[in-house]
Amino acid sequence: MLNELTLFGNLDRVQTAIDRLKAFAELAEAASPNGYIVLDSGGKDSGTIKALAFLSGVRFEIVHNHTTADHPLTVRFVQEEQRRWRESGIPYLVKYPCYKGKRTSMWDMIVLKGPPTRIRRWCCDVLKKNGAEKGRFAVSGVRWAESVRRKNSRHLYEAPVNAKTLVGFHSAEDAKGYLEREPARLARGQFMVNPIIDWTDEDVWEFHRRYKLPYNPLYDMGFRRVGCVGCPMGDNKRELEKMPEFKELYIRAFQRYLDRRPDLAETHFWRNGNSLYRWWVENSKTANGRQLRLDSDGVTGGMKNE
Ligand code: SF4
């Protein structure tokens, strides 16, 4: 619930989130005249933080990282959001993925790095974080309720230690203390503010209803998350059966990966893009990502020596 009466008084989650944003607004503006970067994935959590940034009166711009594997309805929704926010005077940038200075895509990256899996999520670094501007203050809609992993690893405020590592804080005072003690660290990455980290799904939808926010139509079609089509974090087998054009793109990219890596024939049972695809949607989500299973055509997936 967005408003709750507790032993210590009325808990107003919207006001709390606004205060969390305001706490670093000055520093965000000192880092850039555009202030915060509000990260928009096209999902409901992003919708919430965009509206909170607007309500709080902080200066901000919005950035959406197009992954090239986004659902067509997400692409359309983001285009509509871009138009709406720009009409309200808020800068809104759609960024396209680059790798080593060149434009790339999910499909070209698979050829280089192989299938993205739950334990090997190179895709987030290349496609989602996509050249995050160092030294800036960013706002994300990450929430503890999304997964146990997030509950155990994410914080209200997160400051860079180096380009790859963040250190987390549960209070603005502690986070500001860190920035004062270690001012050079900020230039190594992005400072993250996660104002709805402790919100539930129901809080997010209540907020959408209260402010009549537009949202991605995928939710009305039963989707709980709106990441890439075929994301290994979800049930990509079922999803890709419904989207054969994306399934085909993955199989073709897997074939190109195997063509580039003939050495894998020595250690793996994958014979072609199809068998690698079957391993990917059926077996790669097991504990070590290498368990064997007999496919319909008798081809086993994964490592030969397991
Ligand atoms: S949404 Fe899934 S597939 Fe897309 S970048 Fe994130 S982990 Fe990778």
Q: Are residues 187 and 301 in the same domain?
A: no
Q: What is the mean pLDDT of residues 263-270?
A: 83
Beta strands in the chain (DSSP E): 3-6, 9-12, 36-39, 60-65, 92-95, 98-99, 102-103, 137-139, 157-160, 166-169, 191-193
Residue after which a domain boundary falls, among 221, 252, 270: 221
**Cα–Cα distance, 112 to 253 (Å, whole number):** 10
Q: Are residues 174 and 258 in the same domain?
A: no
How confident is the prediction for the chain on average, in pLDDT? 91
Q: Are residues 162 and 140 in the same domain?
A: yes
pLDDT of residue 286: 60
Q: Are residues 145 and 103 in the same domain?
A: yes
Q: Are residues 198 and 242 in the same domain?
A: no
Lowest mean pLDDT among 51-55, 172-176, 232-236, 283-287: 283-287
pLDDT of residue 129: 79
Q: Are residues 247 and 204 in the same domain?
A: no
Q: What is the mean pLDDT of residues 149-178?
A: 94
pLDDT for residue 65 is more than 90: yes
Chain segment 36-47, per-residue pLDDT in tens: 999 999 999 999
When divided into structural domains, the chain yields a total of 2
Domain that residue 271 falls in: 229-306
Q: What is the mean pLDDT of residues 174-185?
A: 96
Q: Are residues 97 and 157 in the same domain?
A: yes
What is the DSSP pairing of strand 102-103 with strand 157-160?
unpaired
Q: Are residues 214 and 284 in the same domain?
A: no
Ligand 1 atom nearest the C-alpha of 234 is: 2
Q: Are residues 42 and 178 in the same domain?
A: yes
Q: Are residues 270 and 138 in the same domain?
A: no
Residue after which a domain boundary falls, among 205, 221, 237: 221
Q: Are residues 121 and 195 in the same domain?
A: yes
Please name the residue ranges forming H helices in 130-263.
148-153, 172-181, 201-211, 236-242, 244-260
Ligand 1 pocket, residue 123 CB under 6 Å: yes
pLDDT for residue 190 is more than 80: yes
Ligand 1 pocket, residue 127 CB under 6 Å: yes
Ligand 1: distance of its center to the CA of 2 in Å? 29
Contacts of 121 (CB under 8 A, 6+ apart): 232, 233
Question: CATH no. for residue 59?
Answer: 3.40.50.620
**Cα–Cα distance, 146 to 152 (Å, whole number):** 11
Q: What is the mean pLDDT of residues 120-133?
A: 85
User: Is residue 224 a contact partner of residue 265, using CB atoms and an 8 Å limit?
Assistant: no
Probe target for ligand 1 pocket from 40, 45, 67, with the most ligand atoms within 8 Å of CB: 67
Contacts of 146 (CB under 8 A, 6+ apart): none
Q: Are residues 178 and 237 in the same domain?
A: no
pLDDT of residue 76: 98
pLDDT for residue 30 is more than 80: yes
Residue after which a domain boundary falls, among 179, 203, 221: 221
pLDDT-derived band at 173, boundaries 50, 70, 90: very high
